[in-house]
Structure 1
Amino acid sequence: MTSPSESDTISVADLSATHRDLLWVLFQTGPSESGPLHHSLTDYYTDGIDHTRVCTVLEELVERDFVTKHTHDPTEFRLTESGRRALSARQAWEAGTHTTEGGRE
């Protein structure tokens, strides 16, 4: 049986770069529609990205509980608390400040 800290660990490690990039854009911009999110990624990716791909990735992030989808006019996507914690853990890992079980780095 896993400990509560192990089972509560939320990670973006197994997500694609596009998934992580969309989470990051949502973190920076706040709630947004798919169009502005697509535009942000198009500006970032040298080869661009298809709007349909952005919508698919957003739906996958909703299924993983990293993002919520608020369906009103227009549809808006927001980071969940799980999404925020996962991004925070990723940033700590990238900065080298992530500690493993037992307090070792």
Structure 2
Amino acid sequence: MAQADMTPRQTAPELTAFQRDLLFVIASVGPAKGTTVKGTLEDYYEGEINHGRLYPNLDTLVDSGLITKGQRDKRTNEYDLTARGESVLANRRAWESERLEGVSA
């Protein structure tokens, strides 16, 4: 009998808005250091993102299989989108496009 996959998985609706923003940033700048991701989000949010918010959310995305976490050097981690993360973002963009069809900005 095949063993069930017990890896925690998340889909776009289960992610927080902050986690979705992390995915979008990593998709645009990845592979990237956490400080690069943090700086890009701080520019968008026009405010400081503290480490206690950033890194636990990055770890959640890693645990969910949406991003990978590798070592750039002995002190620096690097984050990159997985194929599953790309799929979640593509599905989210399609869903948003459907909702905004016919809406002028």
Q: TM-score range by the shorter chain?
A: 0.7 to 0.9
Q: Write the letter of the residue equivalent to 1:87.
A: L
Structure 1 unaligned spans of 5+? 1-9, 98-105
> If the length of structure 1 is used for normalisation, what is the TM-score?
0.77
Q: Write the letter of the residue equivalent to 1:52.
A: G
> If the length of structure 2 is used for normalisation, what is the TM-score?
0.77
Per-residue deviation, residues 38-66 of structure 1 (Å, max 9, x unmatched):
01111111343212311111100000000
1:27 Cα deviation from its structure 2 partner = 0.7
CA distance in 2, matches of 1:45, 1:17: 12
Q: Is the 8 A contact 1:11 1:90 kept in 2?
A: no
CA distance in 2, matches of 1:58, 1:64: 10
Q: Which residue of 1 aligns with 2:95?
A: 93
Residue 68, structure 1, aligned to residue 68, structure 2 = yes
CA root-mean-square deviation: 1.5
1:1-105 paired onto structure 2 within 5 Å: 11-73=11-73, 74-96=76-98
Percent of residue pairs identical = 35
